[in-house]
Amino acid sequence: MSTLHRSAPALLGKAMNVSFEFFPPRSGDMESQLWESVMRLAPFNPDFVSVTYGAGGSTRQPTLATVRRLLSETELKPAAHLTCVNSTRDQVDAVAREFWNAGVRHFVALRGDSPDGIGKRYRPHPEGYGNAAELVAGLKAFADFEISVSAYPEKHPESPDFMTDIDMLKRKVDNGATRAITQFFFDNDSYERYVERVRRAGIYIPIVPGILPIHNFGQVAEFAGRCGASIPGWLAQRFEGLDNDPQTRALVSATVAADQVMDLVERGVQDFHFYTMNRAQLVYAICHLLGLRAPVTGTPVTGNAAA
């Protein structure tokens, strides 16, 4: 696999680090789109690529198959998502062992959403891990995994206040988490305030901003409403009247994402995690803006392969 050529110097004289999230495919067409996106972004040499895990292990086998293919056909370092939902501790530990045997050494440890739907009250399995902090401890007891966890610049929707939310993050760190990846957000001031709160609480692991390029504003707005992420008024205005104008919408999406990332760079951020939605085009453009350079092959990318 080709390796990354960083610009010299990198953007603003800093070396940028990126990681990408993918989800396991549910059909042949989706599988083709996934692997086209993986191979399009792989030359940027990400720190890791994460593969999501459906509620209650609903995508366990597709996730495992995706991770195995990443390990066998690429030089990428896969991180497998793992949740506690609807599972006993023994069941979760068995899944961790299965991923370990496949070669996984990095987990994204998440409590997971309620099986009744996002926003519904979460009830842990009576014989399971009660939350992500307990899951982290369980994984660390099994092996010395690298463990990333979630963080919420606008507070987890189920947390009564920021103090409770940050206390949970500290418990995850105390149990062995080495990195936090944030819920997506569009207000960089919220991220900056959150990092300040986290540092005052004595948490010093990297708080990596999760960036979601907007491919479909309506879907993103609906999801944001369920998971506690706000949609600034200015952002909604940018997409007004573009429902039936995909070309202009794509240009606006690229501008919004690039503006957000460049502003974060000016604030001193050097690590970024991209929720790719198995689409490479916008993420590729942003990585280029960050000063990352994929090798030039001489064959231009055309059509929808990178969409």
255-290 pLDDT, tens digit per residue, is 999 999 999 999 999 999 999 999 999 999 999 988
Provide the percentage of residues in the chain whose pLDDT is more than 90: 70
Active site (annotated) includes residue 158: no
pLDDT at site 103:
96
Which has the higher per-residue pLDDT, 254 or 182? 182
pLDDT at site 114:
59
pTM of the model: 0.89
Q: 32-36, 112-116, 167-171, 272-276: which range is least confident on average?
A: 112-116
Write the DSSP symbol of residue 121.
P
Q: Which helix (H) or strand (E) holds 197?
A: helix 188-200
Three-state SS across 3-28? CCEECCCCHHHCCCEEEEEECCCCCH
**C-alpha to C-alpha distance for 127 and 86, rounded to whole angstroms:** 9
pLDDT at site 119:
57
Residue 246 has pLDDT above 50, yes or no: yes
Catalytic residue among 21, 36, 134, 154: 21
Select from 152, 138, 135 the least CA-distant residue to 197.
152
The CATH code of domain 5-293 reads: 3.20.20.220
Q: 261 with 271: CB under 8 angstroms?
A: no
Which has the higher per-residue pLDDT, 225 or 207? 207
Select from 110, 30, 108, 35 the least CA-distant residue to 76.
35
pLDDT at site 306:
39
What's the whole-number mean pLDDT along residues 229-240?
A: 95
Q: Which amino acid is at 26?
A: R
pLDDT at site 115:
62
Break the chain into its structural domains and give their ranges: 5-293
Q: What is the pLDDT of residues 66-111, one digit of tens each?
A: 999 999 999 999 999 999 888 899 999 999 999 999 999 999 999 8
What are the percentages of helix, strand and coil residues in the chain, rounded to 5? 45, 15, 40
**C-alpha to C-alpha distance for 174 and 168, rounded to whole angstroms:** 10
